Structure 1
Amino acid sequence: MADHQREIETFGSNDDFWLFGYGSLIWKPPPHYDQRIPGYIEGYVRRFWQASEDHRGTPEAPGRVVTLIDRAHWDTLTDHHEPTEKVWGAAYHIPSSKVAEVRTYLDIREINGYSIQFTPFHPAAPLTTTEISFSPPPPNPEPLISKGIKRSRTTSIQGEPNTPIRCLVYIGLPSNPQFLGPQDPDALARKILESKGPSGENREYLFNLEGALKGLSRASGDAHVSDLVHRCRALEARGSGQGGREEVALPKGESIEGLEEAEK
């Protein structure tokens, strides 16, 4: 435990701070990154098995967001979906001068049950970086193309494809109080459709995740995510005249504009 804490405290001191995002970080990147690389990690399974009380749900009615389950532990569980061999996402490099600020931001963003782990990340080829934050800003900033997503410039960076990069990653471990474990897919889809929190509707998180994954690579889909999207769309189609979008009670107070959802 002491060695792990020491690694957390010193990680990034050699300008090697890389963060792996497998959930909302794919489409809502951290601030101040200067490189973004699509790719994957191995040895984990991505599942909507983490409760969200602070972003896509409330303490009274938690939503559902993704976490990673160690494959060896997943093998001991009963799941309705087969695992993918690779968990696709995006790795972000944070310059050493911004590490402390970004770490504080991430600790707040991931406070609801997530803890810091480390994993080898395999970049996809060709290696690219997507620039969203500029300092100084460009003369003609590109407009938002959807909520939370900006048009981006993509430039090549040097590196060998599939050379592993050690990444920090936030994971809701099975020991954390928000970890729910295996769930019936139909019940899970209904829960996602009915949930809403300060960051917005739970379904938006699910649909954005599927779209973001498809944008990473031809091979970056996730059967668990796509199956939940299919089930939610079917339930929406069978819903009321509002296209299945039933009214969901908001948490007390107004929605927090732009609040980042729990990651992953």
Structure 2
Amino acid sequence: MTIDTPKEGMWVLGYGSLIWKPPPHYTFRLQGYLTGFIRRFYMQSRDHRGTPANPGRVVTLVSHKDLIKKRNEYIDHLIGHEIPLSEQEVPIPHDALKVWCVAYYIPSEKVAEVKEYLDIREQDGYSTHQVEFHISPEHNKCSSKEEEDVVSVLPVHPKTNHKYLTSMIYLGTLDNEAYIGPENIMDTALVIRTSVGDSGKNIEYLIELTKLMRQFHPDTYLEELLRIVES
């Protein structure tokens, strides 16, 4: 269910570079999580963090539905993560299928401009989708009357007991040519260690994302990948 916010502003989620390099013109951001996804460096970057000849790696989210669909490809890689690869409903929240991220609120007068900016920024393999974002009460304190008004009208999710909203998100899905997963973490680390694109070194992307995640909820996959890259 899409939530209508005052003045018809726009929510957009950041789970990768948008966490540490946010979109312009946002008035506030909320910290929280998605359920039913894992975050992985499974997207080739042929512009920002690599080149067409030597693509780097950037993150996308893989849904539980897609994990089930490609279970034979993913099962070895996901052993130890306790991710249920069955058709049964995923318990919410499920720690192995919970991605911590941020939601940015864009005021109505800036929606068109920001959407155009993001469409260009995310053009290499990403498409827009709608997802439910659960707000973490322990990580958020309203800093303005506008923020308080927006959050106050949001419903409470019956399974998480947290307020939630429906937001736009850019995802690199399995059916686009830039999608590279599943990839062995050692192979991913080697690519990140050596790749450079128009936006800089690939390792910078990983470092900045991992560092920002540590501020409110460390990601074990990011931490392990960074450890390997820096070793």
Q: Is 1:66 paired with 2:59? A: yes
Structure 2 residue matching 1:78: 3-state secondary structure: helix
Alignment of 1:1-264 (within 5 A): 14-75=7-68, 76=71, 77-81=74-78, 82=81, 84-126=96-138, 127-128=140-141, 157-158=147-148, 159=151, 162-215=162-215, 217=216, 220-234=217-231
Question: How high is the sequence identity, in percent, across the aligned residues?
Answer: 40
Runs of 4 or more, structure 1, over 6 Å off, are none
Worse overlay, 13-22 or 167-176: 13-22
Which amino acid letter does the alignment assign opposite residue 50 of structure 2? G
What's the offset of the Cα at 1:128? 3.8
What's the offset of the Cα at 1:78? 3.1
Q: Extract unaligned runs of 5+ from structure 1.
A: 1-6, 130-153, 235-264
Whether the aligned pair in 2 keeps the contact of 1:53 and 1:63 (CA below 8 Å) is yes
What's the offset of the Cα at 1:221? 1.9
Which amino acid letter does the alignment assign opposite residue 227 of structure 1? E
Worse overlay, 71-80 or 198-207: 71-80
Structure 2 residue matching 1:175: 3-state secondary structure: coil
Structure 1 residue matching 2:8: 3-state secondary structure: coil
Going from structure 1 to structure 2, the CA distance change for 1:122 and 1:182 (only over 3 Å counts) comes to same
Q: Extract unaligned runs of 5+ from structure 2.
A: 84-95, 157-161
What's the offset of the Cα at 1:14? 4.9
Worse overlay, 160-169 or 198-207: 160-169
Whether the aligned pair in 1 keeps the contact of 2:49 and 2:201 (CA below 8 Å) is yes
What's the offset of the Cα at 1:187? 1.4
Q: For 2:128 and 2:76, locate their aligned partners in 1 and report how far apart those are by CA, in whole Å.
A: 25
Going from structure 1 to structure 2, the CA distance change for 1:79 and 1:20 (only over 3 Å counts) comes to farther
Which amino acid letter does the alignment assign opposite residue 197 of structure 2? G
Aligned residues: CA RMSD:
2.2
Report the number of matched residues: 198
Q: Deviations over 1:158-213 (max 9, x none)?
A: 34682111110000010010001111111111111010101011011011110111
What's the offset of the Cα at 1:61? 0.2
Going from structure 1 to structure 2, the CA distance change for 1:115 and 1:155 (only over 3 Å counts) comes to same
Q: For 1:102 and 1:58, locate their aligned partners in 2 and report how far apart those are by CA, in whole Å.
A: 25
What's the offset of the Cα at 1:72? 2.1
Going from structure 1 to structure 2, the CA distance change for 1:103 and 1:194 (only over 3 Å counts) comes to same
Going from structure 1 to structure 2, the CA distance change for 1:200 and 1:79 (only over 3 Å counts) comes to farther
Going from structure 1 to structure 2, the CA distance change for 1:79 and 1:102 (only over 3 Å counts) comes to farther
Q: Which structure has the highest helix share of the two?
A: 2
Which amino acid letter does the alignment assign opposite residue 44 of structure 1? F
